[in-house]
Every structure is written in structure tokens, then in C-alpha cells.
Amino acid sequence: MKRPKVAVIGAGNVGATTAQRLLEAEIADVVLVDIIEGLPQGKALDMAQAAALLGSDAKITGSNDFAAIEGSDLVVVTAGLPRKPGMSRDDLLQKNAEIVSSVLDRVVRHAPQCILIMVSNPLDVMTWLAYRKTGFGRQRVMGMAGVLDAARFQYFIAQALCVSARDVNAMVLGGHGDDMVPLPRFSTVNGVPVPELLSQEQIARLVDRTRNGGAEIVALLKQGSAWYAPSASVAQMTASILRDQRRVLPVCASLEGEYGLKDVFVGVPAVLSSKGMERVVELALTQEELDALHRSAAHVRESCKKVNV
């Protein structure tokens, strides 16, 4: 059986760990691409040897040539600068827009039929930029962040209740930033809504920590940003698409009237299938929740206006 092919653009911590997860789980054959000579080749060789020990028959190669991504079923873009302490995701806006724009030109040239998952920050703006630059339909362009934000909320809920994270399902909407919208009403522990298990004060603390989840890690690391949870998030999305699992996952998607929003990319639950982002799932939000989502979307729109590429 021919394995799907995934190209990961950017061999830094996020990109390399994403490639490792895809390879070791045999989700796809992987090509790792980076402009730094020797970096993707060396990391790919190391991963291939580890995969042999772990019993994976998937293949990985590294390259500095974007022609290597030809025929990719799915492309993951992680290229760009990471955050440093004190920086917001928006501080990276223009520089990463220039880097990502150059990458997207090459993706269109060499893998015009691929499904695209954006990881570079600021995530929502880079996903919008990818949609605009590539001309791919909305089913074929999405951003990773909702899965990551929900995973952080899931972990914090499990930690607060001293229960297995396996039994926790969390939902986070909105942009991948300080105005994201964690939804306690739609987050459950083995089917029990979180507001029935924790006080409003406890929930407020978990929501705040979720919103600042990335910044907390950046401050601890002092250089660079998270990569283990982001790469796991990409792997989950990729598996759902390439294996046609049809999972409902929160992803950065183009809205065309859903939630009363149009022409904006923002985090919402969606069905991920072999078609890509097959459809957006609309939750019955309260007015307060909907207003918060609209505020988050407005911030994404304002950030998009600042992009000059």
C-alpha cells in the first residue's frame, strides 16, 4: 500500500518534532525541508534510524530544495521566527509574513494539489495569508491552533480535578492569542460539563492560564517557544485527514457565515476528513460567548490589515 506523503516546511523544533511524530506513527512518508544546509538532511537521517528501532517502515528524507515536496498530499508550514520572552504573537507579524509568503509561492509551484496546515505565528493571520496567496479552496487551508489551545485547557482541567486527561474533552474557539475563547460549557469530564465540577473562580483561573499557555512556556524556556504539544496537535489533525477519520477538532478555518462571521479565519470546531476541513460545526453559543468570538475575530481582521507582502 502506498503511504501518503507529507511535507514539513521548517526543520526547527516544531517542524522536526512534527516530522518525527508522523514518521514513528506511520501516518505518512515525510519530507523535511529547510533553507539551512544540512539541517533537514541531518535530522531526517537521525529520525530514520530511530524509526528503525521503533519498528516504523515509514520513510523520511531531508532537503533544501522545495522540489522535494512534489506530490505531497499534505503540507505543514512551520517556517518562521519563534517568540521570545516579552513578545506577543503579533510582534512576529511582518517578518513571518515575508517568510511564509515566500514558502507559499513554492508550495503552489511544487504541490498545487495539497491540503495545507499552517503552524507559523501569528497563526490566524498566516492561515489567512495562505488562503489568499495560494488560491486553494477553504477546505484545503487550515491552521493548527485550536487543537493546541484545547489540549492545554484539557490538561489544566484534568490537573485541577486530579483525573485522567483521557476523560476530559475541551473546546476552545477564537484566535490563537490572548482573546481566545475557552468554552467551559462545552468542555466535559466523561460527559459531565466542567461547570458542574469546578467553581466559577476555579474555571476563570484555568481559562486565564489557557489563554497564556504559550507565553508561560516561552517565559520558562527564555528562548524559543513550545514544540511538543504543537507537533502533537499537527499529528492529530494530519491523521484525521489522511486516514479519513472525520474527527471534530477545533481548527483555524475560513468562515462563510457560520457564527455570523464572514471572510475571516478563526478557531472553530470542524470535521477533518480526506477532503480537508470538510465543514464547520456550529455550536449553540450564548450571546456572551458569541460576542467574545466576534471580538477575537475582529482582532484577527485588524492584524490581517497590517500584513504587507
Give the active site residues: 176
Q: Residue 34 in contact with residue 15, Cβ under 8 Å?
A: yes
Three-class HEC string of the chain: CCCCEEEEECCCHHHHHHHHHHHHCCCCEEEEECCCCCHHHHHHHHHHHHHHHHCCCCCEEEECCHHHHCCCCEEEECCCCCCCCCCCHHHHHHHHHHHHHHHHHHHHHHCCCCEEEECCCCHHHHHHHHHHHHCCCHHHEEECHHHHHHHHHHHHHHHHHCCCHHHEECCEEECCCCCCEECHHHCEECCEEHHHCCCHHHHHHHHHHHHCHHHHHHHHHCCCCCCHHHHHHHHHHHHHHHCCCCEEEEEEEEEECHHHCEEEEEEEEEEEECCEEEEECCCCCCHHHHHHHHHHHHHHHHHHHCCCC
The CA distance from 26 to 54, in Å, is: 11
Contact 248, 268 (CB under 8 A): no
